Structure 1
Amino acid sequence: MRPRDDTKRVALLEATLVEVTEHGFGVASVARIARRARVSPATLYIHFADKDALLEATFVHVCDQLIDTALEAFDAALELRQALREMWHALFHLALDQPRLFRFHDAFSHSVWMNDRVRERNDLRLAPLLDAIAQGHRDGVLKPVGLALLESFMFRPIYHLVQSQGSHPFEPTHTNIDQAFAMAWDAIAVRHDNPRP
């Protein structure tokens, strides 16, 4: 059996990211992905059992980039609002620089490939953030709602605003990004007496 080459594996993940965000899950065939990664389909199968395994691995690859960005910016020593603000800004700038990551994440999250194993893996990686959110609930800073609502009102707006190309596109100035964060915070916070930056 031939040894695995990590550079080829990453090339396949990146090719999958591009193919899916450009053409969708159905059209993104193994042959097209291998061609884009400049490897043979046989090489793809050295790294991944099948297309499903490749798609899941690409989602994990995307999640790791989002989670790394979030955790690098998140400082649990800060007051929760400020810590989330720093993280929100970092994620917003990542979304501006690499919108494909957010597009793939959104598409996979709403697909048949999403599963509890991947959710649990990501939750383990996000433990510092989830612990801070749980503390925010205990302290009465955050509304007593589940993670699905917190995610929808705090983090989903990033994707929506970056992707907005309608009649009123969002201008991503520092002030506008900060206003968007303030609105997201107001949606999840119990009290609004924390000082604004």
Structure 2
Amino acid sequence: MPRPTADQIRAKIRAALVQEVAEKGIGSVAMGSVAKRAGVSPGTIYLHFENKDDLLQKIYLKLKAEFHATIVAPKDETDSAVMIRQMWNNMFDFVAKDPFGFLFLEAGSLSQILTEEQSRQIAHMPLEIAALLQRVIDDGTLADLPVSTVIVMLVAPAMHLARHRLLQGNTITQDELDRTFERVWLSITA
């Protein structure tokens, strides 16, 4: 059997950490538990990460970048309604593929695990999403609401459905997504 590559080992560590945080919370993360879940020795984790904070920060930053890229992928779409729906569907594609990752991002942002420098590195992400939503408000597609309100109205169902999927072990059906989006859409359109 071939030896796992460094990337494969990091992927196992990432998956283990994300599941640990989603199930137990960031404050309960222990390197030994992550190692056991990943099927590696604790020393192996230290070959890839300096310490627990470095592990949390690097995985958070990578997941955050992946999530952001997924959300803003349709930013060049000229039809505002289509762009918002694609952003929504992309968000749920991410949630469906990695519900633990989505919950890890939520826990990480609430726990403020990043250094000031790391926070500056990703500060453009929410601003870019806010600018896209403001563009859609300005063109009259969305109601003249504060962007922060629109964000909450779009993201809260994703958080709820991700938690539901984890707790119930159910998948999110396309019908459920479509019905939920239509309800959210009614509440935010002009």
Task: State the TM-score bracket (shorter-chain normalisation).
Answer: 0.7 to 0.9
Q: Specify every segment of 5 or more residues in structure 1 that has no aligned partner in the other structure, as ranges.
A: 192-197
> 1:186 is matched by which residue type in structure 2?
L
Change (3 A) 1:50 1:12: same
Look up the SS of the partner of 1:155 in the other structure.
Answer: helix
Greater share of residues in helix: 2
Look up the SS of the partner of 2:29 in the other structure.
Answer: coil
Cα displacement (A) at 1:109: 1.8
Cα displacement (A) at 1:84: 1.2
Identity %: 24
Name the structure 2 match of 1:195: none
Please say if residues 11 and 37 of structure 1, whose CA atoms lie closer than 8 Å, have aligned partners that are also in contact: yes
> 2:154 is matched by which residue type in structure 1?
M
> 2:49 is matched by which residue type in structure 1?
F
Q: Distance in 2 between matches of 1:120 and 1:140?
A: 32
Where in structure 2 are the equivalents of 1:64-83 lying within 5 Å? 64-72=65-73, 74-83=74-83
> 1:93 is matched by which residue type in structure 2?
D
Look up the SS of the partner of 1:54 in the other structure.
Answer: helix
Name the structure 1 match of 2:50: 49
TM-score by length of structure 1 reads 0.73
TM-score by length of structure 2 reads 0.75
Cα displacement (A) at 1:114: 5.1
Q: Distance in 2 between matches of 1:125 and 1:184?
A: 23
Structure 1 runs (4+) greater than 6 angstroms displaced: none
Where in structure 2 are the equivalents of 1:1-197 lying within 5 Å? 5-72=6-73, 74-113=74-113, 117-124=117-124, 129-142=129-142, 143-147=144-148, 149-164=149-164, 172-189=172-189, 191=190
Change (3 A) 1:5 1:94: closer
Look up the SS of the partner of 2:28 in the other structure.
Answer: coil
Change (3 A) 1:171 1:137: same
Q: Distance in 1 between matches of 2:105 and 2:127?
A: 19
Name the structure 2 match of 1:194: none
Cα displacement (A) at 1:50: 1.7
Q: Deviations over 1:81-123 (max 9, x none)?
A: 2111022123223323321122212222211425664554345
Please say if residues 71 and 126 of structure 1, whose CA atoms lie closer than 8 Å, have aligned partners that are also in contact: no
